[in-house]
């Protein structure tokens, strides 16, 4: 198995502190650390442009940069590179603030032996890896949610169109039913009118004619012909009543009125 090599960018303006950190890394007995030293923030930025590093060890007390601005700049420009900040004994508050600004961890100078230093480096690298995996998972999940949302929106549009089509079809069916009912009622009315105006009037005229014959010929008719005429008259009366009853029933169906009297 190839020996693990961790590329370290050490940003430290104090040569003595830089040398101590190099010695601690060399004595760790763990992976091989390839250290690149930068004494200024501008120099560190140039190194990050030219090369990829696994970890940045950043002193918060640099002569050419506000320490927290340096953290934010490195976190912005080299987002995949974890940062461990180095603070003095009286500057732990800035270390905590640096973590809030994007650093993975902080160490107090003079308290970080080789074991603690290596552990902080490994922790920062692993935490960065986990955060990147979570970011990829989040992006993938957001893509899935966006795709699912688009599918649901498309399905919703299709459903709304289907509902609109169904409502139009139902309205057309209801309109056809209303028209059919109106046509049927109109036909009933026409039939009632035809019965009354045609057959009914003819029956009434026949009744009147028979009555005149009976009246005018009463003295000349024998009993049998007279009874025959009376029977015909009664039949006409019965037919007139039946026609009126049929007309009345048809008209009530059409208009829902309680009564109807033909003229």
Can you give the CATH number for the domain in which 20 is found?
3.40.50.2300
Structural domain span for residue 72: 5-112
Q: What is the pLDDT of residue 231?
A: 76
Are 108 and 183 contained in the same domain? no
Does residue 127 sit within a domain?
no
Claim to verify: residue 25 and residue 105 sit in the same structural domain:
yes
Lateral strand order in the sheet of 55-59? 32-38, 5-11, 55-59, 83-87, 105-108
pLDDT values of the chain reduced to their tens digit, one per residue, 263 residues = 456 899 999 999 999 999 999 998 988 877 899 999 999 988 998 999 899 999 999 988 888 877 688 888 887 878 889 999 888 766 778 888 888 888 888 888 877 788 889 999 999 999 889 988 998 999 999 999 999 999 999 999 999 999 999 999 999 999 988 888 888 777 777 776 766 666 767 777 777 777 777 676 654 555 566 677 777 777 778 777 877 777 777 667 655 544 445 54
169 domain residue, yes or no: no
107 shares a domain with 12: yes
Task: Please check whether residues 105 and 193 belong to one and the same domain.
Answer: no
pTM: 0.57
pLDDT of residue 123: 92
Split into its structural domains, the chain has a count of: 2
Residue 224 belongs to a domain: yes
Q: For residues 107 and 184, state if they share a domain.
A: no
- Same domain for 187 and 108, yes or no, is no
Task: Evaluate whether residue 237 is within a structural domain.
Answer: yes
Q: Reduced to 3 states, what is the DSSP secondary structure of residue 188?
A: helix
Same domain, 15 and 106: yes
In a domain, 128, yes or no: no
d(CA 103, CA 91): 15
**pLDDT given at position 244:** 76
**Which two three-digit tokens encode residue 150?**
């688009």
Q: Show which of 112, 139, 165 is a domain's final residue.
A: 112
Residue 70 burial by CB count (10 A; 0-12/13-18/19+): exposed, middle or buried?
Answer: buried
The confidence score (pLDDT) of residue 254 equals: 58
Is residue 141 one of the residues assigned to a domain?
Answer: no
| Residue 136: inside a domain | no
B/e letters for 26-61, b = 16+ CB within 10 Å, e = fewer, are eebeeeebebbbbbebebbbebbeeeebbbbbbbbb
| DSSP of 89-151 | TT-HHHHHHHHHTT-SEEEETTT--HHHHHHHHHHHHHHHHHHHHHHHHHHHHHHHHHHHHHH
In this predicted structure, what is the pLDDT of residue 36? 95
How many other C-beta atoms lie within 10 A of the C-beta of residue 131?
14
Both 30 and 108 in one domain: the answer is: yes
Mark which of 94, 112, 130 sits at the end of a domain: 112
In a shared domain, residues 24 and 103: yes
* Residue 143 within any structural domain of the chain: no
Structural domain ending residue among the three candidates 112, 138, 165: 112
């Amino acid at each position: 198995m190839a020996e693990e090599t961790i590329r370290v960018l050490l940003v430290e303006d104090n040569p003595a502190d830089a040398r101590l950190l190099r010695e601690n890394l060399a004595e760790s007995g763990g992976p091989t650390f390839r250290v690149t030293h930068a004494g200024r923030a501008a120099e560190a930025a140039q190194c990050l442009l030219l090369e990829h590093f696994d970890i940045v060890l950043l002193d918060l007390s640099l002569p050419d940069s506000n320490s927290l601005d340096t953290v934010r700049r490195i976190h912005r420009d080299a987002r995949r590179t974890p940062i461990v900040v180095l603070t003095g004994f009286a500057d732990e508050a800035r270390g905590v603030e640096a973590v809030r600004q994007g650093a993975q961890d902080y160490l107090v100078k003079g308290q970080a032996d080789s074991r603690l230093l290596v552990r902080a480096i490994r922790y920062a690298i692993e935490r960065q890896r986990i955060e990147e995996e979570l970011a990829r998972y989040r992006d993938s999940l957001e893509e899935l949610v966006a795709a699912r949302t688009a599918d649901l929106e498309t399905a919703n549009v299709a459903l709304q169109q289907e509902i609109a089509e169904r409502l139009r079809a139902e309205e057309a069916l209801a309109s056809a039913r209303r028209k059919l009912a109106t046509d049927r009622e109109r036909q009933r009315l026409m039939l009632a009118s035809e019965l009354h105006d045609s057959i009914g009037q003819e029956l009434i005229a026949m009744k009147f004619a028979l009555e005149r014959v009976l009246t005018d010929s009463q003295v000349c008719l024998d009993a049998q012909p007279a009874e025959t005429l009376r029977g015909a008259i009664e039949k006409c009366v019965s037919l007139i009543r039946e026609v009126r009853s049929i007309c009345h029933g048809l008209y009530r169906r059409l208009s829902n009125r309680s009564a109807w009297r033909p003229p």
